[in-house]
Homo-oligomer: A and B are copies of this chain.
Amino acid sequence: MPKGPVTSPRLQDVAEAAGVSIATASRSLSGATGVSAPVAERVRETARTMGYVVNLHARSLAGGSTRSVGLLVHEIGDPYFSEIASGVLGVGAREGLTVQICHTGRDPERELAQLRMLIANRVGAIIIAGSGMVDPALQAPAKVELQAFRRSGGRVAVIGRHHLGVDAVLPDNTEGARSVAQHLLDLGHRRIAVAAGSRQLTTVADRLSGVEEAFAAAGLDVGDVPVVEADFTRAGGKVAADEVLSAHPGVTAVLALNDDMAIGVLSALRARGVSVPGQVSVTGFDDVAVAGDLAPSLTTVRLPMSEMGEQALLLALKDPGARPRRRQVGAELVVRGSSGRPPS
C-alpha cells in the first residue's frame, strides 16, 4: 500500500543521534546483553523521543526468526471459531506474537491460497482450526504445502481431526456425542432425529459415530434413525428441522451436531409452534457462549474452545517433537432446559 516517501527513523538514525554504532544501538533496543547499562538507557531514550519503531521485516530478514503466527478458520464470524481465535490471540499477546487470521470458508482451494500467503509471510507457526475432510484427497495439496513448511522450520498445529500428520488438539467428539445421545435415551426418547452437517466433515462423522454407538448399545436399530444432512449452520438447522417435522412427525427429540444447527432447529420449531422440550427435545454440541442464554437454554456438550485455541498455539510453539503430538480435550455434557422427557 504505502508507496510514497515513507520516512520513519531507522536504527541508523537513532545510533547517530545517540552517538553510538548501529550495532550498539541494535543491542540496546533488542535487550541483548553486552551493552553497559547507561549506554543502553541513553539509546532507548533517544529512540523513544525520535519515535523509532523497529522494522520487523528487516529484523526477521536479518535474524531469520519470526514472531508471528497464522490462524486459519472457516469463518471468524462464527462463534465457534471466534472463541478459538480468542484463545489464540490471548496466548499470542502474552508471548509477544502477532497473529494473522484468514478465512477458508470450508473451501479447500481458498484454504490452500491462504496457507501459501501465510507461508510467504514467513510466519513461524500455523494453526488450522475446524473440521477436516473425511476424504484425504481433498486436503492433499495442503498437506504437501504444510510439510514443506515444516521442513523449512515452521510449526503447525490443527484443532480437530485431520489427515495432516501434525500436532493436534482433539476434542472428544465421539464420546461427547455418545453422552448426549445417552442423555436423550435416559430421558426415555426412542424416536430421535439427528441434524447433521455434511458427512464429508470429520467432525460430523466422529460425532455421528458416537451417536450411533449409544443407539446401538440401547438396542436401537441405527438404520431407523433419521439423519438429516444440511449445512452445518443455523440456516441448515432450520432446514433440517423442517424436514424432520414433515418427514418424521413422530420424532420426540432432535439431536443437532453443533449448537449453530441447534439454534436453527429451536428457531424453526418455535416458528411452527412446537414446544421445547414439551413436545420435542433439542440438544446441541459445542456450548457456544450464547447457548446458556437461549430460551429454553440449550442442553449441549461443552468444548473448551478458547482453551483449545490456547493449547494449539502452545503446542505449535513447543520444540518440534519427533512425531505428532495429540492433546485430547474433554467434551462434557451440559444439561439445560431444552431437553426433557418425551410427551407421554
Chain A residues at the B interface, C-beta cutoff of 8 Å: 1-8, 51, 53-58, 60-61, 64-69, 75-79, 81-83, 85-86, 89-90, 93, 96, 98-103, 110, 114, 116-122, 124-125, 148, 151-155, 234, 263-264, 266-267, 270, 289-290, 292-296, 306, 317
Contacts and interface: CB of A to CB of B under 8 A. Distances in A.
Given A79-B82, A98-B102, A294-B294, A58 B56 contact: no
A91 to B, nearest CB: 11
Contacts of A5: 153
B100 A56 contact: no
Contacts of A119: 53
A210 B103 CA distance: 37
Given A76-B89, A77-B82, A77-B86, A1 B65 contact: yes
Nearest to A60: B57
B93 A86 contact: no
A280 to B, nearest CB: 14
Contacts of A6: 64, 152-153
30 contacts: A1-B65, A1-B124, A1-B317, A3-B64, A3-B153, A5-B153, A6-B153, A7-B153, A51-B148, A53-B119, A56-B57, A56-B120, A57-B57, A76-B86, A76-B89, A77-B79, A77-B83, A77-B306, A81-B82, A82-B82, A89-B101, A89-B102, A98-B100, A99-B101, A100-B101, A101-B101, A234-B289, A263-B290, A267-B292, A290-B294
